[in-house]
């Protein structure tokens, strides 16, 4: 075994034990994210999962995500732009007083007064999918806080975060629109109301807060069905994101989408409709590969640690 790789988000924890080639030896998932560990402590949660996964004593650990936020385990700071992704590992901070080597990767900060922005976690996904150190590409990483990232010659030069996923969660569960859709229903990318929402959001983003109420009114007046509510809302918010990304993409329409599952299919469809050529890579795998890359750079000469017999 070579290292443990941990993706530690706000509300989720994911651990892989990897060999030197990056192959998965064991894996653990839980909902013990930053918010949970803020109360119970980070070290006990990590050690419990390492033990349960069969990690030997002394196996080093590479972490990315919100565990490195100010309100996390220990603040891992931010790299300023332009940020070469292959320098992330050397800027990782070491947890003081841990029983083994535990590092947390830093995030990225865009310190521009007119477009201040931060990334924490997605930088590691990007590291995991760069093909060469001079890679130049446009990325979209959808999620709670959807990120669009420009990488030039292996360095992140600018990025933009859209609150798409969080708005969907808030509006579908806690607004008047909770009455306008069944809860936790999966949206299909070929649903007509999803595509209608994408079109409305992308073509007239200024009308979005009006369309939100219109979704409810449309049902009250019999123009649409409650079963289609989530599809329209999802499409509308993704459409607004696409409208906002026009000012960001610089005319570049070849896009690498880092996502998985239904969300990947929704974004693929919406982006393709709006002229993007989309290559999709699995987000979870990208994170694991990024952590593995970081571990290889941090511990280049490390001999594998043998599991205790």
Helix count and strand count (H, E) for the chain: 9, 15
Of the two residues 146 and 293, which places its CB atom closer to its own copies in the complex?
Answer: 146
Binding test (CB under 8 A) with its own copies, winner from 29, 94, 226, 246: 246
The distance of Cα 289 from the centroid of its chain, to the nearest Å, equals: 14
Does residue 166 touch its own copies according to CB under 8 A?
Answer: yes
Of the two residues 125 and 161, which places its CB atom closer to its own copies in the complex?
Answer: 161
Does residue 138 touch its own copies according to CB under 8 A?
Answer: no
User: One symbol per residue from 209 to 228: x for binding its own copies (CB under 8 A), - otherwise; what is it?
Assistant: xx-xxx--xx-xx-x-----
Strand partners, 17: 4, 26
Please choose, from the candidates 11, 266, 278, 275, the residue with its C-alpha nearest in 3D space to the C-alpha of residue 142.
266
Of the two residues 5 and 167, which places its CB atom closer to its own copies in the complex?
Answer: 167
Does residue 24 touch its own copies according to CB under 8 A?
Answer: no
Determine how many CB atoms are found less than 10 A away from the CB of residue 104: 28
Please choose, from the candidates 7, 88, 69, 29, the residue with its C-alpha nearest in 3D space to the C-alpha of residue 296.
88
Of the two residues 47 and 166, which places its CB atom closer to its own copies in the complex?
Answer: 166
Determine how many CB atoms are found less than 10 A away from the CB of residue 188: 15
**117-119 vs 137-141, strand pairing mode:** unpaired
Of the two residues 48 and 213, which places its CB atom closer to its own copies in the complex?
Answer: 213
Does residue 260 touch its own copies according to CB under 8 A?
Answer: no
Q: What is the end-to-end Cα distance of the chain in Å, rounded?
A: 13
Does residue 284 touch its own copies according to CB under 8 A?
Answer: no
User: One symbol per residue from 87 to 126: x for binding its own copies (CB under 8 A), - otherwise; what is it?
Assistant: ----------------------xxx-x-xxxx--------
Binding test (CB under 8 A) with its own copies, winner from 208, 273, 305, 307: 208
Residues in Cβ contact with 220 at an 8 Å cutoff, skipping those fewer than 6 apart: none
Binding test (CB under 8 A) with its own copies, winner from 96, 206, 251, 309: 206
Does residue 287 touch its own copies according to CB under 8 A?
Answer: no
Structure-derived torsion over alpha carbons of residues 231, 233, 238, 243, reported in degrees to the nearest 10: 130
Residues in Cβ contact with 40 at an 8 Å cutoff, skipping those fewer than 6 apart: 32
Chain residues binding its own copies by CB under 8 A are: 70, 109-111, 113, 115-118, 145, 160-164, 166-167, 170-171, 174-176, 204-210, 212-214, 217-218, 220-221, 223, 237, 240-241, 243-244, 246-247
């Amino acid at each position: 075994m070579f290292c443990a790789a941990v993706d530690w988000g706000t509300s989720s924890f994911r651990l892989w034990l990897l060999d030197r080639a990056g192959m998965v030896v064991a894996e653990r998932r839980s909902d013990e994210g930053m918010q949970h560990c803020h109360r119970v402590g980070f070290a006990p949660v990590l050690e419990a999962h390492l033990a349960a996964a069969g990690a030997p004593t002394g196996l080093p650990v590479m972490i990315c995500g919100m565990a490195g936020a100010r309100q996390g385990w220990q603040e891992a700071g931010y790299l300023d732009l332009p940020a070469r992704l292959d320098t992330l590992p050397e800027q990782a901070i070491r947890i003081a007083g841990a029983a083994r080597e535990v590092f947390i990767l830093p995030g990225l900060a865009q310190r521009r007064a007119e477009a201040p922005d931060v990334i924490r976690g997605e930088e590691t996904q990007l590291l995991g999918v760069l093909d060469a150190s001079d890679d130049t590409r446009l990325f979209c990483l959808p999620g709670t806080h959807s990120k669009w990232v420009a990488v030039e010659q292996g360095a992140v030069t600018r990025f933009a975060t859209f609150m798409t996923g969080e708005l969907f969660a808030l509006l579908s569960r806690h607004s008047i629109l909770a009455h306008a859709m069944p809860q936790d229903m999966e949206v299909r990318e070929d649903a007509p109301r999803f595509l209608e929402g994408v079109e409305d959001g992308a073509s007239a983003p200024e009308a979005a807060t009006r369309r939100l109420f219109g979704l409810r009114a449309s049902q009250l007046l019999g123009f649409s069905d409650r079963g289609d509510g989530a599809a329209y809302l999802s499409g509308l918010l993704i459409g607004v994101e696409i409208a906002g990304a026009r000012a960001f993409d610089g005319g570049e329409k070849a896009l690498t989408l880092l996502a998985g599952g239904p969300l990947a299919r929704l974004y693929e469809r919406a982006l393709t409709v709006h002229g993007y050529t989309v290559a999709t890579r699995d987000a979870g795998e990208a994170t694991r590969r990024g952590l593995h890359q970081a571990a290889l750079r941090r511990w280049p000469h490390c001999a594998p640690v043998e599991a205790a017999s």
